A = this chain, B = another copy of it.
């Protein structure tokens, strides 16, 4: 006979803390506390297996009823004093709680005081010598059972909860002000009114039989596993639908039997600061749901010390004991009945990013954890909070709508609808939020000027998202329902219209768009000694190096501050978009011949050289990987007629000519078009000019006595012949520039971003000093998925569970990852000393970082603001690998 029921009572339990899959989180925690000898009301857990069987077959497995019956008998035994479930003299009351492995919104939570009926309530009144308490418990039970098991809801959108309505009427009728003003008789009458309402609504009597009540509650828990909200939640969070929930049935203890009673929740450390002290709140003379209901204001748990010192001291001791046992900060629920402490739950406590770091570091100091263990406890993703300002969790906020949280942090400012307006207002000292349908490279200066960016379209790797992350700037993209009227200079969302100049706030951690200014807390990483300590352990533990993607000297400085060990990707095209340069760039593109292009390039070279001098100086002593021009030429061209006109004029060309040229450059699938090294092949003079600027800059900086390690990266190579040809070009220009100057260690390699490059990596490696995997583009081609267009179907894919995660956020290990691994093997076989890194967005995703570590890459490169996260993820990956081996 399969065991479906696991009993527990103080000092012994059939289950244990490591049986979360079978007993759920709550059940496992209760069992473990019993084993530790902590004061836990006795009870038993029905396993998650029963849920799965019930969900599949609609019936309970054979033998369950008998096991539940035996569990009740054991509970009666443990409670002692002759109590029996359903006994009219000495009734045992129980609580019924769901308990999945992970707590989940939408599921049935709790029914208290189960076992009461018109007969047992009299027994309870006699036992407690408190008739009012007994009928209050009865009233609460019928209400809770009616709500969560029988599903009584308000009848219309403007109705209130039916039980609350009856309670209100009863108070009116009796002249009571507070619930506590109702007498035992009033409550007795109220119970009958509740039951009458239940009969009216459901057509059936309220079940008086305690056993029938119990099975009703058990069935409700199991059915709630399959309710749509819970199903959707599991889909969204990747929880298997087959996991199931457990049901915990436990003897009741009462916090509402008088002023030596109470109930509360507490953390063993402060969850927002991490400071080591019992932190939480309680209510005297109350049952659990009173804390939740919010009708009475709970008091800080520290005050319990003066009121019920013995219970308080025991609670502190229990907390410390649990922390030592689990070696983790705990979130506990307790009830005090006549001065005696009872533990109802313990679980790992949620905490802020700042607390997470402090607790990890403190626990090492306290000898609870080793450095390595502490590192593995830290959630790399959550580190984000420390690196950016964030919305104050206590702040009042009006949510207008929601988009994708493309770049973390929070930002407040006046709404503007163009890059020019953003710059202008920022110059005038205003903080602005730039709102666009989507951004393009021409908006970059506006993005720089803005506090945050909001777009209606685009996904997690859209232009706005990528650029904003690079800038460490809060950004929300793809906001569904956001309508922008450029002409009227206003947006509308969630039924609210916001005009230019009105203030909104963006939450880049949640994607929320908030009305007006909302309080926020500043980035917490500066001067945080715990953070510094943690990161020193991180750097000791990791194998993988971490670089940053940085396009400007400012980016480079930020990257270095966050611990980047070089630049893994410096995109030269961003330099082309600066307003004073774009004219020369456009002149180059529209020049009728190579001579014309060369003349235009001659103007660009000194500007690029200046950029590189500054970047090399910032990164002195560290490698700087510079990618030659990558995007299709047409991206640089003017779009509207208003933009076209001045360009045509400056070039002395007919506007028709410029328009025709632009159309010629227009592509059906620019992502698969004339870009990357294909530009370098067809217009070698462009790459020659860029290489000249890079090498001249390196020479200048080297002559100043600084160490420069330039790496020149050729993008979009798919065939070794392309790289061979362009390598020759780079070497030719470099030899010319460096002739007679200082020795500059120049390294030439390629971006591996096409499946073909991975397949012939051995041949490409013969002419490459390094590979840098461009996993954004590699994901696009391997999956045949345009990141700009995926919004039409990717959300549906995630919802249906067809993809586990957005492949532009977390690396698709089976597909893209397999190609990367293949390329690393192939490349190293041909050139054992080949340097290999990754510079796609995945370089900042902790799970992807672990994968890159496992296949032996030398480094990852990510946005400057994600460098600490990548460093931590790299350390965790190395530690896990060590553990596994």
Contact = CB atoms under 8 A, between A and B. Distances in A.
Interface in A749-775: 753-756, 759-760
A801 B721 CA distance: 8
A802 interface: yes
A145 B801 CA distance: 79
Contacts of A792: 667, 673-674, 682
Interface stretch (A19-27, A31-39, A809-817): A809-817
Contacts of A782: 718, 754-756, 759, 781
Contact of A670 (B668, B790, B793, B800): B668
A777 interface: yes
Per DSSP, chain A at the interface is helix
Nearest to A724: B802
A82 to B, nearest CB: 57
B802 A672 contact: no
B759 A781 contact: no
Interface of A: 667-674, 678, 681-682, 716, 718-719, 721-722, 725, 753-756, 759-760, 777, 780-786, 788-790, 792-793, 796-797, 800-803, 812, 814-816, 818-819
Contacts of A788: 667-669
A457 to B, nearest CB: 10
A681 B802 CA distance: 10
B759 A819 contact: yes
A373 B668 CA distance: 47
B760 A802 contact: no
A753 B756 CA distance: 14
A803 B718 CA distance: 10
B722 A802 contact: yes
Contact of A682 (B718, B722, B796): B796
A682 B784 contact: no
A721 B719 CA distance: 32
A222 B792 CA distance: 62
B789 A669 contact: yes
Nearest to A803: B719
Given A670-B789, A755-B815, 18 more contacts: A667-B792, A668-B671, A669-B669, A671-B784, A672-B672, A681-B796, A716-B784, A718-B782, A718-B815, A721-B801, A721-B803, A754-B783, A755-B755, A755-B781, A756-B816, A759-B814, A759-B818, A760-B818
A812 B755 CA distance: 13
Q: Which 10 A-B pairs have the closest CB atoms?
A: A672-B786, A756-B815, A669-B786, A673-B789, A755-B755, A668-B788, A674-B792, A754-B784, A721-B802, A667-B789
17 contacts: A667-B786, A667-B788, A669-B669, A673-B789, A674-B792, A674-B793, A678-B793, A682-B793, A718-B782, A718-B784, A725-B802, A755-B784, A756-B782, A756-B814, A756-B815, A759-B814, A781-B782
Contacts of A678: 793, 797
A784 B777 contact: yes
Contacts of A803: 719, 721
A672 B792 CA distance: 12
Given A760-B814, A815-B760, A672 B674 contact: no
Nearest to A822: B759
A66 to B, nearest CB: 39
Contacts of A722: 802
Contacts of A790: 673
B759 A681 contact: no
A683 to B, nearest CB: 10
Contacts of A815: 718, 755-756, 759-760
Contact of A671 (B669, B719, B725): B669
Given A721-B801, A725-B800, A672 B784 contact: yes
A301 to B, nearest CB: 47
A796 B679 CA distance: 11
A754 B759 CA distance: 14
Contacts of A812: 756
A756 B669 CA distance: 20
Nearest to A672: B786
A814 B764 CA distance: 12
A237 to B, nearest CB: 17
Nearest to A788: B668
A605 to B, nearest CB: 24
A756 B783 contact: yes
Contacts of A718: 782-785, 815
A784 B681 contact: no
A446 to B, nearest CB: 21
Contacts of A760: 814-815, 818
Given A802-B722, A815-B760, A819-B759, A786 B754 contact: no
B671 A672 contact: yes
A693 to B, nearest CB: 24
Most buried by B among A721, A777, A785: A785
A781 B782 CA distance: 7
B786 A668 contact: yes
B802 A755 contact: no
A437 to B, nearest CB: 11
A258 B206 CA distance: 131
